[in-house]
Chains A and B, each alone.
Chain A
Amino acid sequence: MFEFLGIPPQALFGQLLIGLINGSFYALLSLGLAVIFGMLNIINFTHGAQYMMGAFAAYLLAQYLGIGYWPSLVIAPLLVGLIGIIIERTMLKRLYHLDHLYGLLFTFGIALIIQGLFRFQFGSSGLPYPIPDQLQGVIRLPFMFLPIYRAWVIVFSLAVCLTTWFLIERTSLGATLRAATENPTIVRSFGVNVPRLITLTYGAGVGLAGLAGVLAAPIYQVSPLMGADIIVVVFAVVVIGGMGSILGSVITGFMLGLIEGLTKVFYPEASTTVVFVIMAIVLLIRPSGLFGKAATTTAGVESTGIGSSLDGGRVLNVAMAGLVAILAIAPLVLYPQFLMKALCIALFAMSVNLLLGFAGLLSFGHAMFLGSAGYVSAHAAKIWGLPPELAILAGTATAAFMGLIAGAIAIRRQGIYFAMTTLALSQMIFFIAVQVPFTGGEDGIQGVPRGLMFGFLDIKNQLTMYYVVLAVFVFAMLLVHRIIHSPFGEVLKSIRENEPRAISLGYKTDRYKLMAFVLSASIAGLGGATKAIVFQLASLTDVHWSMSGEAVLMTLVGGLGTMLGPVVGAFVIIAMETYLAEWGQWVTVIQGVVFVICVMAFRRGLVGEVAYRTGKPL
């Protein structure tokens, strides 16, 4: 057999095939996302979980009812679509009048609930699903063996994608859908029941995810986490392709699958990150995506209205002083270990809130700063033998630098695209952290020495350590307070309220957003670096995107755009995790429920509610 660039053809075509298979799933999933986004203006974070549900539906139908693959190919998507319709009718539809970000947060919460429930029921190991008899075996091609089932998946996905495209672009139903996307009010006044159309669209988009799940079941194992991993890649696909075009998302999906496969052949180390690298490049060259229309990214509609404006009031100062006083005596009552964790994470939540609450930018990838700073700080203290203060500084500086780069890429898109971009970037950092040797992979960096702070503070003593953390926390809190009450902070708020107007007033809003991003990344990094020293550990948990989700949750629970909200939120969530730890998977479910409740009914958050009732900024 011939060889190509030193690669045996069997390996090359094998990887290309895997690439096409992955591409099929990317295409099907991003197609569903695009259809839903077009009609509902919501990024459906639950999409991954619904893909997983499709696979499980097929598995359970076979297991308990003896229903085989072919009927499941119809029944499972219908079931998933039906559940989606129930979610849309009962909850999601109440969010349409709100900012897009709430839809993202709500669907994220639902995803947590669904995934938690499935993990509780089925564990996290994969379950096998057989290839149907008719599609067993392989086709012998001159250059490779082609498993029939895989060929079927590619052909069938392609057919489904093209049918969907045809339906939307070439039929009268599609014309009605497109018109309703543009102007639902007028279309409704023509006698079209637009709300029902929206519900059915969501059901259909989600059904596509379920269908992809059934197709995937015989290839990958059926597991509760199968959707969580793929959804982030699909978000990157969507950012690359641009949401405006149906055909665009299909082509981008297949193309990226192929590129991933090729990367596996030529440079396997980069295969998990290549999609994210491409995303970064595309964002720098063509911010609206390969197939996106510039018009779909109008900034004005995406200004959030999240959070309340606030002036530095005396009440806030008193409340902050009170908080510090309580924290100063807290170790008498509570474990310093718990308090220190909560304080470090509170820094993290504050950094997310600085962006979301005051600049209207939802970062779903801040874990990359928390985790990376932790790694650098741990490495500096353990391997280089730096004193803790310099180790923390090194970690924070790393986060600031990463913030500069990630920010420069991410601020090229607004609103939910910004959220998806940060999420994808952080996933790239996560995969890098898994692979590079210095992070210690799954083990992390353990046994980080605490040493002497500034040469004289013995932070091996738990209480000394605690007060050092408290000092760091107070410093950061005052910094954030200073930032949001400075003229710079006022400009940020104006960007949040109405970016085009801020631009028309002569502000280079991109610079302000980048500056805010760097500051926020630094504060997140400060939290992560300190945490690594405190717990003498830097691990993959802190760099995983679910950590970013938690920070957003804390901000939401405490109150977006409030000074003290993220702190309160961090304590609530960390306490919940600490004291409910024995409940295992239920913690995820409870977090999801809290997310959903906050978005549906408690959008001001704890502190925000108090601030609203008393009329005082907090």
Chain B
Amino acid sequence: MKPALLSVQNLESWYGESHILHGVNLEVGQGEVVTLLGRNGAGKTTTLKSIMGIVRNRRGSITKGGIQTIGMTSDRIAKLGTALCPEERAIFSSLNVRENLMLPPAINDRGMSVEEIFALFPNLKERIGTSQGTKLSGGEQQMLAIARILRTGADLLLLDEPTEGLAPVIIQQIGRTIRMLKERGLTILLVEQNFRFASTVADRFYVMEHGQIIDGFKSADLEANMPKLHDYLGV
């Protein structure tokens, strides 16, 4: 494995009184695409939100590029080059499409230009004049949600179920995008229910259950692990 860009050790998190994560350990190497699998409620989204600093009540160790971020607020973590594409997409209805795209401030000059983004997502170019971000279709909103964090120059992307509820052709497009981002050297931690899709983009898998990582394997070993996986995911 390449040197870890993200390293999470003994991460515990709480939502109010409820204890959600019970000691998560994972590492994501520089330039790797890693997928978190697990049933609903296993703590996948909470793991991403804890890394991003959105879940504030957390303990343990999270280092990004060697910097400890466990005590930081999410705006500072963002400035260190971590960006989240949330499950609910969070496209803003009071902003037009262009404003949505331009909203996250660039943290360095290594981000993609608007032209590059349009080359990647031609639909967005057509819809850029749309008055309300939420008037876009679900697939377009998902692309917009990914596109806007590519502009900032973040090198660690946290993608929370980007294919959820989308048509197969759009899922393929998102798959191509992720592979392209990997080629550009970006590091991606992906949460997915759809492990068929995930196997087309991921280098490695982690499996979560009850707020812990219970297993992990390489993408190449997916077939060998299928029986176990069926057991974990109950499919």
Contact = CB atoms under 8 A, between A and B. Distances in A.
Main secondary structure of the interface of A (DSSP, over half): helix
A93 B227 CA distance: 52
Given A178-B92, A178-B95, A181-B94, A190 B103 contact: yes
Nearest to B133: A179
Interface string B75-95: 101110001101000101111
Nearest to B105: A191
A568 B85 CA distance: 53
- Sorted from nearest, which 7 A-B pairs have the closest CB atoms? A191-B78, A190-B104, A175-B99, A189-B74, A186-B90, A178-B94, A179-B92
A186 B78 contact: no
A266 B78 CA distance: 61
A184 B116 CA distance: 28
B102 interface: yes
Nearest to B92: A179
Contact of B52 (A172, A181, A189, A194): A189
Contact of A190 (B83, B93, B94): B83
Classify chain A's interface size. Answer: 10 to 19
A190 B152 CA distance: 9
Contacts of A192: 75, 104-105
A134 interface: no
Contact of A189 (B75, B93, B94): B75
A265 B60 CA distance: 72
A176 B103 CA distance: 6
Contacts of B105: 190-192
Nearest to B79: A191
A188 B74 contact: yes
Nearest to A189: B74
A190 B105 CA distance: 7
A229 interface: no
Contacts of B104: 190-192
Classify chain B's interface size. Answer: 20 to 34
Nearest to A170: B99
B73 interface: yes
A562 to B, nearest CB: 26
Given A182-B94, A190-B78, A193-B75, A172 B54 contact: no
Given A189-B77, A191-B75, 11 more contacts: A172-B99, A181-B94, A182-B93, A183-B92, A186-B84, A186-B90, A189-B53, A189-B74, A190-B149, A192-B75, A193-B75
B233 interface: no
A182 B84 CA distance: 17
A192 B77 CA distance: 11
Interface in B36-91: 52-54, 73-75, 77-79, 83-84, 86, 90
Contacts of A188: 54, 73-75, 78
29 contacts: A175-B95, A175-B99, A178-B92, A178-B95, A179-B94, A181-B94, A182-B92, A182-B93, A182-B94, A183-B92, A185-B74, A186-B84, A186-B86, A187-B103, A188-B54, A188-B74, A189-B52, A189-B54, A189-B74, A189-B77, A189-B83, A190-B83, A190-B104, A190-B105, A190-B149, A190-B152, A191-B75, A191-B104, A192-B75
B155 to A, nearest CB: 14
Contacts of B107: 191
